[in-house]
Amino acid sequence: MKAYLDNGATTMVDPDVVEVMMPYFSIKYGNAGSLHGLGKDAGDAVRKARATIAEAINADPDEIIFTSGGTESDNIALKEAAFANQGKGNHIITTKIEHPAVLETCRFLETMGFSVTYLDVDKEGFVDVEAFRRALRPETILASVMHANNEIGTIEPISEIGSICREKGIIFHTDAVQSFTKVPIDTKAMNIDLMSLSAHKIHGPKGTGALFVRKGTKLGTLMHGGGQEKRLRSGTENVPGIVGFAKAVEIAAKSHEHIARMTGLRDRLGSGLLAIPGSSLNGAEPESGKRLCNNINVSFKYVEGEAMLVHLDLAGVAVSTGSACSQKSLKPSHVLLAIGMARKDSHGTLRLTLSRFTTEEEVDYTVEALKGIVEKLREMSPLNKETIKGYDDIDLKKRGR
Amino acid sequence: MDYTQKVIDAFKSPKNMGEISDADAVGKVGNPVCGDLMWLYLKIRRNRDGRDYIYDVKAKTFGCVAAIATSSVMTELIKGKTIDEAEKIKKDDIIKVLGGLPEQKVHCSLLAIEALEDAIRKWKLENKKNIELNKKNKRAN
């Protein structure tokens, strides 16, 4: 038995998506910018794809810029909005739980003379709209708040933040990589100016994404060259990727049934895991309706995440962890720290993310496997039933190494 | 993480895990904040040459794959060794048995070495006390 519960990292490309992409590699391989028939075929395909994606977010087709993915979209959005509008001010507002593509770009902008406010979140990961309002300054030009968090699945109040930004004339960017096709997005109703999207999180191909740019949003150019994508992002269009991206959106938009199914499986997984002693859920309560339909993030006391992950992998189950020991930096997840988790508890955290292909069997198998693994690891851990009491009093002195 | 098959094997079925209720020394090192913790139990006896050796060893480890694998290998390396020999074991000896560790995981192997050092230090301290106690008792007699 195998179970893939790491769809927050990437998803299987839908076979129907692969099928529509194939002709654009070796049959309809033209450059979308060429004037001949092959080029026209490619150009038409890109145009059609743009319209499909625009429709899914209530935008106009010429507000969609194709990119290489979420990271590039975040980079273009933040850097180019910041540089193009620095005449108006130098202040940017974001949150402590953004994806590194946003956080690291903000840190870079700080070195370029911008001032960035990183908003706190509460213990469920929500940004406080009033705190956002208080962070505003006369020189605020840009705000970036993610739609849904990639680690804990919390869905942020971006409509409220969008309307504040609109009222104050601030450019509002949201990273919707995790939420796209899972939570309804209406760029007009939500007052979004810039939005990052990615194909490979929704059963499309890797290396393809998009940036929504509301008409009239002042942006500079990151990639100079042949002037593709309204001169914002030069480079020959990745036609197979774009076609696949649109097909993935089309399939997801066609049926809302899969969201209800995923929600049901998520809750089945959540209650199964939370029945394991010493476990707790991180992020928004599932009943709140403010948690991604495919995300469960659970901490298990007295066991370490990487050890659980590798045992699960050996059992055929793929998940991810927020444990410091799994990171090259050996730092715990910034999201877990931002929701106020103690470092010693952050080590035993797993993220399990479903897709519309996830089955009940996969969920049940994972719960059973993890039960045994947690038990086994706790058995060999000095932090067992008898010593748990001492856990909270353990000397917090760092070992000198 | 790029672990060797030997690391995965040692992690999957670690040797000498558990406790010794009447251990002669227990080494306790690590910190849950760093994400690893190890308790090492030693049973020490004297061999025919009059040397103290590790007759039995058990360990309890909380930590990542590397921490558990290195704990297991360390217990195997010291079992049956004299205290003098066990003291000479370094982290590189453990890493060698495992066929290497990812660079950022090398420090994890220190956990096992520190547990061993702590246990031996405690045993020596206890031993010294006992010797002095014996001397005192002899004098008193």
Shortest Cα distance, chain B CAs vs residue A295, angstroms: 23
Check CB contact of A383 with chain B, cutoff 8 Å. Answer: yes
A400, pLDDT greater than 60: no
Cβ of residue A343 closer than 8 Å to a chain B Cβ: yes
- The answer to whether the CB of A119 falls within 8 A of the CB of A96 is yes
CA distance A228 to A212: 15
- Amino acid identity of residue B111, one-letter, is L
pLDDT of residue A98: 98
Q: Which long-range contacts (CB under 8 A, 24 or more apart) does B16-21 make?
A: B16/B57, B16/B58, B16/B59, B16/B72, B16/B75, B16/B76, B16/B79, B17/A379, B17/A380, B17/B58, B17/B59, B17/B60, B17/B61, B17/B71, B17/B72, B18/A380, B18/B58, B18/B59, B18/B60, B19/B58, B19/B60, B20/B56, B20/B57, B20/B58
Q: Is residue A243 classed as helix, strand or coil in its secondary structure? A: helix
Query: What is the least distance, in Å, from the CA of B63 to any CA of chain A?
Result: 5
**Do B33 and A344 make contact, defined as CB atoms within 8 angstroms?**
yes
- A97, two tokens: 């739980």
Averaged over A163-167, what is the pLDDT? 98
Mean model confidence pLDDT for chain A: 94
Chain B contact for A113, CB < 8 A?
Answer: no
Interchain CB distance below 8 Å, B61 and A397: no
Torsions phi, psi of B100, nearest 5? 100, 160
Select the residue of B17, B32, B108 nearest A344 (Cβ to Cβ).
Answer: B32
The amino acid occupying position A310 is V
Chain center to CA of A276? 28
CB contact, 8 Å: A328 with chain B?
yes
A399:B114 CB<8 A: yes
Residues B69-111: pLDDT tens digits? 999 999 999 999 999 999 999 999 999 999 999 988 888 889 9
- Whether the per-residue pLDDT at A386 is higher than 90: the answer is no
Instruction: Say yes or no for a CB contact (<8 Å) between A382 and B62.
Output: yes
The answer to whether residues A280 and A274 touch, using CB atoms and an 8 Å cutoff, is yes
Bridge pairing between strands A91-95 and A115-119: parallel
* Separation between Cα atoms, residue A209 and residue A223, nearest integer Å: 15
Chain B hits for A304, Cβ within 8 Å: 35-36, 62-64, 67
- At residue A287, does pLDDT exceed 60? yes
N- to C-terminal Cα distance for chain B?
Answer: 63
pLDDT of residue B139: 76
pLDDT by residue (tens digit) across B37-67? 999 999 999 999 999 999 999 999 999 999 9
The catalytic residue positions of B are: 34, 108
ipTM of the modeled complex: 0.90
The β-bridge partners of A350 are A298, A321
Type and span of the H or E element at A3: strand A3-4
pLDDT at A277: 93
- Would the pLDDT of A393 be above 90? no
Residue A398 confidence (pLDDT): 38
Reduce the DSSP state of residue A283 to 3 states and report it.
coil
Tell me the helix, strand and coil percentages in chain A, rounded to 5.
40, 15, 45
The answer to whether the beta carbons of residues A284 and A57 sit under 8 Å apart is: no
CB A321 within 8 A of CB A306: yes
* Chain B interface includes A326 (CB < 8 A): yes
pLDDT of the residue at A180: 98
Among all residues of chain A, which has the CA nearest to that of B59? A380
- Answer whether residue A329 shows pLDDT above 80: no
